Structure 1
Amino acid sequence: QVTQFDKVDITDLDEHRKTLNNENSPIKTTFLPFLIIAVTHALREFPDFNSSLSTDKETLIHKKYYHIGVAVDTPGGLVVPIIKDTNKKDMSALSMELEDLSNRAREKKLKPEELKGGTFTISSLGGIGGTYFSPIVNPPQVAILGVSRAKWEPVFSKTKKTFMPRYVLPFSLTYNHKVVDGALAASFTQHLGKVLSKTASFK
C-alpha cells in the first residue's frame, strides 16, 4: 500500500455549508456529505478506484455502483457503515442517512447488511484533530481516503498579491499499488481537490 498526501482550500465550500445550516434545515450538514459527493464524482472519472480484486488477486473487478463506507468512531471501536448508491442521493438525503447510520453505529443497532458491499471508504479524523495520516485499505477494496481537521493557513493570492487566510483541508489517499500507480493517484487527488474547491459542484 502507498499513501499520497494533498490539501485543498475549502473556504468557499465551508461558507456554503454554513449557509445551508442557516436555512432552518432539520439536519445539521457536516462536511462529510460534501466529501461523499466529491468522492463519488472522482470515482466516476477514475473507475479503477471503484473496484475490487478477485479472490485470487489476479483480476480487477470494476463496480457499476457507488457504495461508500464511512468510518464511525464508537465506544466499541471503529465501525464502517455503507451508504449505498451515493450517485443517486442529494445533499439532504446523504446528511440524513449519515446521521442515522452514525447514531445506530454508536448504539450497536446496525444491521449486518449495512456493513457490507462497500466499494470505497472515507475515514475522517476531522472531529478529533491531527494533520495527515495513512489510512489502511479495506480489502477487497483498492483505495481509501483519509481526511483530517481543516485549519486556517496563510495562502498567497496571485490576484491580490498578498497572503490571505484560507480554510485548508488536509487529506490522504492510500491505495493498492498493484492496481493503481502514483500518476493515476495524483490525478484522482487533483480532481477531488477541484471538485471540493468549487461550491458549484454541490448546487
Structure 2
Amino acid sequence: RKTLQSDRAYEGVRITLLGFVIKVLASAMKAFPSLNASLTPDGEHLVLKQYFHVGVAVDTENGLVVPVLRDVDRKGILELAGELSALSARARDGKLKPDEMQGGCISISSLGGIGGIGFTPIVNAPEVAILGVSRAQTKPCWDGTAFVPRLMLPLDLSYDHRVIDGAEAARISAFIVAALEDPRRLLL
C-alpha cells in the first residue's frame, strides 16, 4: 500500500488498507458462499447470491449510512479506492441516492479513522455477516528469535448463527487474515 501510494501514477487516489480488505472480502465471499447470502424476510430460506456487493459504513453528521460498492470482485484495488472515496464524500455531504445504499451482500464497519482496537459490529439484515475493521498499528511481534515490528489490523467478524456457525466463521477469518498477510494468494 505504501509503495503504491508513493507512485506518481496513482496521484489523486488515496490507497488505504480498506481497499485491500474489500478485495480480500470478495475472495472470501467466493470461497465461502454462505458469507455471500441473505435470509428471506421470514427467515425460512437462504438466498445464495451470484454477485459481490460490499456495503461500507460511513460516519456522517446524521449517523451511519452504508453505501454499497457493486461488483467488487471485478474491480482492482485502485478502482475500489476511488469509488469508496467518492461514495464516502457523497455520504458525508448527504447526497447519496437511495439505490446507492441498497443491495449489499455483506458490510464492513471500519473504525480506522476514529481509532479503537476492537468492537462488535451488528449484522445489517438481511445480510448474514459484517466485518469490523479497527485501526492498524505497528506492534512488536515475536518471530521466534526476536521482537520485530509488524503491522497489526484487528478484525471482528459478526455473523448470523442460523447461516454461519463458529467453525466456519473461524475458517473465514483465517482465510481473510492469510490473504491480507500475503495478497499474492489472491492471484492463485
Under TM normalisation by the shorter chain, which class is it? over 0.9
1:87-109 CA-partner distances (Å, limit 9, x unpaired): 01111211110111000001111
Q: TM-score, normalised by structure 1?
A: 0.88
Question: For 2:70 and 2:51, how far apart are their aligned partners in 1?
Answer: 8
The runs of 5 or more residues in structure 2 that have no matched partner are: none
Could you give the per-residue CA deviations for residues 101-136 of structure 1, whole angstroms, max 9, x where no partner exists? 000001111111000000000000011111110000
Paired AA for residue 94 in structure 2 = K
Contact 2:54 2:106 in 1 (8 A): yes
Compared with structure 1, are the counterparts of its residues 98 and 55 closer, same or farther at alpha carbon in structure 2 (3 Å cutoff)? same
1:42 aligns with 2:51: no
Give 1:92-103 correspondences, 5 Å limit. 92-103=78-89
1:83 aligns with 2:69: yes
1:116 matched to 2:113: no
Q: Do 1:34 and 1:202's aligned partners in 2 also have CA atoms closer than 8 Å?
A: no
Q: Which residue of 2 aligns with 1:13?
A: none
Name the CA distance, whole Å, in 1 between partners of 2:97 and 2:7. 33
- The answer for unaligned runs of 5 or more in structure 1 is 1-16
Q: Which has the higher strand share?
A: 1
Secondary structure of the residue aligned to 2:153 is strand
| Deviation digits for residues 63-93 of structure 1 (CA, Å, limit 9, x no counterpart) | 0000000001111111100000000111121
In structure 1, how many angstroms separate the alpha carbons of the residues matched to 2:26 and 2:176? 9
Structure with the larger RCO, 1 or 2 (CA within 8 Å, 6+ apart): 1
How far apart in 2 are the matches of 1:169 and 1:33? Answer: 13
1:200 aligns with 2:184: yes
Match of 2:123 in 1: 137
Residue 163 of structure 2: which of 162, 166, 179 is its match?
A: 179
State the identity as a percent. Answer: 48
Q: TM-score, normalised by structure 2?
A: 0.95
User: What is the count of residue pairs matched by the alignment?
Assistant: 185
Query: Which residue in the other structure is 2:152 paired with?
Result: 168
Question: Judging changes above 3 Å, is the alpha-carbon distance between structure 1 residues 139 and 182 closer, same or farther for their aligned structure 2 residues?
Answer: same
Contact 2:27-2:186 at 8 Å conserved across structures:
no
